[in-house]
Amino acid sequence: MPEFEVELDRVATGGAALGPGPDGRVVFVSGALPGERVIASVVADHATRIEARVLDVLDPSPGRQGPPCRHVGDGCGGCDWQHATAELQRDLRRSIVIDCLTRLARIREPDVRLGPALDPERYRTTVRVALRDGRPGYRAGRSHAIVPVESCVVAHPLIEELLVDGRFGSAAEVSLRVGARTGERVVVARPTAEGVAMPGDVIVVGDDELRRGREVHYHEEIAEHRLRISAQSFFQCRPDGAEALVALVGEAIADAPGLLVDAYCGVGLFGAILAGRSPEPRPMTGIEANPAAAADAANNYHASATISRRKMERWSPSPAGAVIADPARVGLGKVVAAKLAQTDAAVIALVSCDPASLARDAMLLASHGYDLDHVTVVDLFGHTSHVETVSRFVRRGWA
């Protein structure tokens, strides 16, 4: 069964379209869209499912488009949804969230909303590329092979300039970062920055230098706040997306006064803006394990805020009015969900970057008395199947 015809009826987490295979097993077809009839080629054959890729589209979806980036045809795996219009991408992300919440968390008719539409192109302010013969590139889909690129439709212009004009010396991998609203740029080269040449305004640092303690940072402006971001700190990939997340989190916790807990606070994006907006800064504590990010948060928070520099699993909770949590892709997990519930906060605003982990966390929080109020899907990563959400959970019985 190397090739077969299949009709796709829905989309799965990870971006592939699903449909019934010729032998009854479910088929995951990358490059296909729900509602299409395609000829697919087997990529991996498992006991309960088949993974395949599109060879030919027989009946295309109304939402299908030609990829705007020519490197998709070269095999670049950076953007897996360039064949779908921006409008369809938004609908597909929402359908993935609804599917995970109903199928995994057993939530009937969850309230899943669409956030503001964000431009799917020229937005990424952080890009990591591998080097092949000194040329930057992205990994091919389902492969470690490097596809050299001379342009990138999702990279911010200040990043793309470095892809085109930069010289990368003996580096094996580089991270390119920019403050879109400040113009400040940083390049982190791995394992060293030896031979790396960039425009004069760019700070170039080797991973080996950072490990020896060199401090490098840049700034970004979000909602009229200037935030410091260290080279080793995570930050959202676009300023308009960060503002959308902050606005949604702010709406979620607006009716829950008192101490604000900023869990997995990173550089302090949420706490710095939301706790500092009132005439009197809101009492707040942030928890962050990464030393560089915790130092950034201490710099970005208002002066009376506190920082707990430890893993969430080792944090000792105290009573709070509201909690913001922005965990890694794996989600909160049992231990952290229990700790957040021990704050007895009226509201928990959960920022999730994986719909399946959101569903698992929804079940965990429900077991501790927190019901899902609603979820908003944010288009943080245009042209990709990556899904970002902000969810509001309310303590049962609180009014």
Query: Average pLDDT for residues 334-363, to the nearest whole number?
Result: 97
Q: Which amino acid is at 385?
A: S
Residue 173 has pLDDT above 90, yes or no: yes
Supply 150's token pair. Answer: 């001379």
Q: What is the pLDDT of residues 115-157, one digit of tens each?
A: 999 999 999 999 999 998 888 999 988 788 999 998 899 999 9
| pLDDT score for 369 | 97
Residue 1 has pLDDT above 80, yes or no: no
| pLDDT score for 278 | 62
196 membership: H or E segment, kind and range: strand 196-197
Distance, CA of 213 to CA of 208 (rounded, Å): 9
Give the sheet arrangement for strand 10-11, strand by strand.
3-7, 37-45, 49-59, 26-30, 17-20, 10-11
Task: Please tell me the pTM assigned to this model.
Answer: 0.95
Query: Average pLDDT for residues 178-204, to the nearest whole number?
Result: 96
Distance, CA of 259 to CA of 299 (rounded, Å): 19
353 belongs to the catalytic site: yes
Supply 235's token pair. Answer: 């930050």
Query: Average pLDDT for residues 205-228, to the nearest whole number?
Result: 96
Per the listing, tokens 């892709």 go with: 329
The CATH number that domain 3-64 falls under is: 2.40.50.140
Query: Average pLDDT for residues 247-252, to the nearest whole number?
Result: 97
| pLDDT score for 179 | 98
Query: Average pLDDT for residues 103-119, to the nearest whole number?
Result: 96
| pLDDT score for 224 | 92
Query: Average pLDDT for residues 206-223, to the nearest whole number?
Result: 96
| pLDDT score for 326 | 98
Is residue 158 within 8 Å of 164, Cβ to Cβ? no
Residue 277 has pLDDT above 80, yes or no: no
Residue 248 has pLDDT above 80, yes or no: yes
Q: Which amino acid is at 135?
A: R
Report the DSSP pairing between strands 37-45 and 49-59. antiparallel
Is residue 140 within 8 Å of 149, Cβ to Cβ? no
The secondary structure of residue 220, as a DSSP letter, is E
Supply 172's token pair. Answer: 């094996």
Query: Average pLDDT for residues 344-351, to the nearest whole number?
Result: 98
Question: What stretches of the chain show up as alpha helix (H) in DSSP?
Answer: 86-103, 157-165, 207-211, 239-253, 269-274, 291-300, 333-342, 355-367
Query: Average pLDDT for residues 68-83, to the nearest whole number?
Result: 92
Least confident of 195-199, 255-259, 274-278, 348-352: 274-278
| pLDDT score for 50 | 95
Q: What is the mean pLDDT of the chain?
A: 95
Residues of the chain with CATH 2.40.50.140: 3-64
Distance, CA of 266 to CA of 272 (rounded, Å): 11
Q: What is the pLDDT of residues 162-172, one digit of tens each?
A: 998 899 999 99
| pLDDT score for 2 | 86
Distance, CA of 71 to CA of 78 (rounded, Å): 9
Q: What is the pLDDT of residues 10-49, one digit of tens each?
A: 999 999 999 999 999 999 999 999 999 999 999 999 999 9
Q: Domain 88-119+236-395 belongs to what topology?
A: Rossmann fold (3.40.50)
Banded pLDDT at 281 (limits 50, 70, 90): confident
